Amino acid sequence: MSEYLSVARRMWHVLEPLHATLYFAPEARQVAADLGYDVATRWPSYFAWRTAPLGAAGPELVAATYYSFSPRLIARHIPQIWTVAEPAKVLDARLLAMDRALTSLIGGRLSAAQLGEAARLARQAAENAGPAA
C-alpha cells in the first residue's frame, strides 16, 4: 500500500500545479466572468469548474464528494451556480479557460500542434493506466 501512496504523492506533486491553474489563472477568472460568475471571490467559479463533470449536482452530493469543504460553504454556492451556466456550458468553458491559461504560460515555447500532441499523449496515458494506477 505504501508504494501506491508514494506514487500517488509523486503524481500529486506533478499534476497539482496544472490542476490548480484552472482555479487561479487570470485567464480562467476572465472566462468565468464571461459566463456570468461573480469573480470577486473564487468560490462560485471554483465550484462550477470542479463540479461540472458531475452534472447539475446538488449540495449533498458535492459535500460528500468534496469532503474537506464545509457543507455550509457548499450550500451557499450550489445549486445556485447552475442558474448562471449549465454544466455542459461550464465544461466547454473549462477547456477554453485552460487553453488560454496554458497558452499564456507556455508562450511561444510550444506550437499549438505540439501542445495538442502533448494533450493527446497525456489522455492516452491516463486512459491506459487503469483504475489501480
> Residue 98 has which C-alpha cell?
485552460
Backbone angles phi, psi at 85, to 5 degrees: -155, 140
Prediction pTM value: 0.82
**pLDDT for position 18:** 87
| Contact of 50 with 66, CB cutoff 8 Å | yes
Tens-digit pLDDT string for the chain (133 aa): 577 778 888 888 988 988 899 999 999 999 999 999 999 999 999 999 999 999 999 999 999 999 899 999 999 999 999 999 999 999 999 999 998 998 898 888 888 788 889 889 988 988 887 666 5
Q: What pLDDT does residue 109 have?
A: 87
CA gap 56, 119 in Å, rounded: 27
- Say if CB 71 and CB 44 are below 8 A apart: no
Q: Which three cell numbers stand for residue 35?
A: 459566463
